[in-house]
A and B are shown apart, each in its own frame.
Chain A
Amino acid sequence: MDVYEVFRRGGHKEPFEHCGSVIAPDSEMGLLMAKECFLRRREGEHLWLVRRTDIHSFKDESLLEIAADKSYRFAHAYRDVVKKRDKARERARELGETG
């Protein structure tokens, strides 16, 4: 028997989310079991089963950390936009170029 990880999705807009795992002899029986273990109250509209040994992950997940400054990848890097807008409008007014 194998361990299968179970993923379910609520609607068309949602991503699949992990919701647990089952022990089953094959994927077909695993699906039948997972359906009752994890969707018997209709918690999702879609169901995926993935054999655990087919899932890969980093042995050292510290690799996923962002070590140095990457603020430019995030919206907060641009939070002073209002101030900058005012400054730019001011400059345009000085030039007398706005109506």
Chain B
Amino acid sequence: MTYEEKLGRFNEHIALGGKVETQDWMPDDYRRGVLKFIEMHANSEIMGALPERECLPFAPSLQRKMSLAAKIQDEVGHAQLLYRVAEDLGKSREAMFVDLVQGRSKFHNVFHYPVHQWGDVAIIGWLIDGAALVTQAALLDSSYAPYTRVLKRICTEEQLHLRHGEDITLELASGTDAQREMFQEALNRWWLAIIHFFGPKSNVEKDLLLRWKVKTRTNEDLRQEFLDRYVPKIFELGFHFPTPTPHSSEDGHWLIKDEDIDWEPLNSIKKNEGPETERRLSNRRAIYEDHRWVREALSEPAVHAA
């Protein structure tokens, strides 16, 4: 079979809703595209642990301390699942990790920002995880089957994180004025980043991942789902939005006008120049470099008889 014939069959298989397993034949572009996509997802999970990790030391109760630790632990667990799936596509986890700590690979924009106070945990746990769940649930029917299998578990755990985040939010919302202000202040800082999280409008023609059904829905479609789901809940709690402010449409949607979105901050973040990027990456890099001996101790056979 020629390459063109194989490619034709592959495209047809995908068009009919067929799934791809690691050992199946796939075009190089598909393999590379899926690898890069899952690698970024994995990077985002492990980098996503960092902002929340910074909040863990000042958790306001023992229960919150444990549940936040457990939540961050889950995110690390997601990275573990995803790196393993990505690794099977031909790039070692070690190489992915080196690329990450050297700042050569990408992760989600929201994780480049600083955290200040407990309200950040509410925003991250409820809204950022909520945004992530909308995008991840849309991938459950992805054409790359090993990805969908780990996503199933990831989405189940994200559901729990959402409850955890909403629970924290509701305590703040029904608490003291200072507690309410914690949420509002954090919302003001994070809102634009959350909108950026979904990315600019998808180019359906050019997006190979959409064509091959690795992704199944466009950025704007996902953003809309998120807005419709969360904006009313936030209004109900008596909080308000900074720019870009959502407006209700006549047909019952919550809309954000494209011209209201300032894309400028996202452009520098795409180059790994977010406000916290260098500090977080350099911490990670330092730990990585200082602990080569751990990797050696784990990977090399015993040299001393114990």
Whether the pair A92, B164 counts as a contact (CB closer than 8 A) is no
Q: Provide the main secondary structure of the chain A interface.
A: helix
Whether the pair B67, A77 counts as a contact (CB closer than 8 A) is yes
If the complex has contacts A13-B148, A91-B173, are A84 and B237 also in contact, measured as CB distance less than 8 A?
no
Q: What residues on A are CB-neighbors of B164 within 8 Å?
A: 72, 78
CA distance A12 to B170 in the complex (A): 39
Whether the pair A72, B70 counts as a contact (CB closer than 8 A) is yes
Interface residue total, chain A, C-beta cutoff 8 A: 25
Q: What residues on A are CB-neighbors of B67 within 8 Å?
A: 72-73, 77
Q: What residues on B are CB-neighbors of A81 within 8 Å?
A: 163, 166-167, 170
Instruction: List the count of A-B residue pairs having beta carbons below 8 Å apart.
Output: 69
Chain B interface size band reads 20 to 34
1/0 per position for A7-44, CB-CB distance to B under 8 A?
Answer: 00000110100000000000000000000000000000
Q: What residues on A are CB-neighbors of B180 within 8 Å?
A: 91, 95
If the complex has contacts A12-B19, A81-B170, A87-B170, are A75 and B238 also in contact, measured as CB distance less than 8 A?
no
Whether the pair A89, B63 counts as a contact (CB closer than 8 A) is no
1/0 per position for B164-194, CB-CB distance to A under 8 A?
Answer: 1011011101110000100000000000000
Whether the pair A13, B145 counts as a contact (CB closer than 8 A) is yes
Question: Which single member of B21, B66, B238 contacts A92 (CB below 8 Å)?
Answer: B238
CA distance A85 to B174 in the complex (A): 9
- Does residue B7 face the partner (Cβ distance < 8 Å to A)? no
From 45 to 99 in chain A, residues with beta carbon under 8 angstroms from any chain B beta carbon are 46, 70, 72-75, 77-78, 81, 84-85, 87-93, 95, 97-99
Whether the pair B160, A91 counts as a contact (CB closer than 8 A) is no
B38 to chain A, nearest CB (A): 16
| 6 residue pairs A–B, Cβ–Cβ below 8 Å | A46-B21, A72-B70, A72-B164, A89-B236, A91-B174, A98-B235
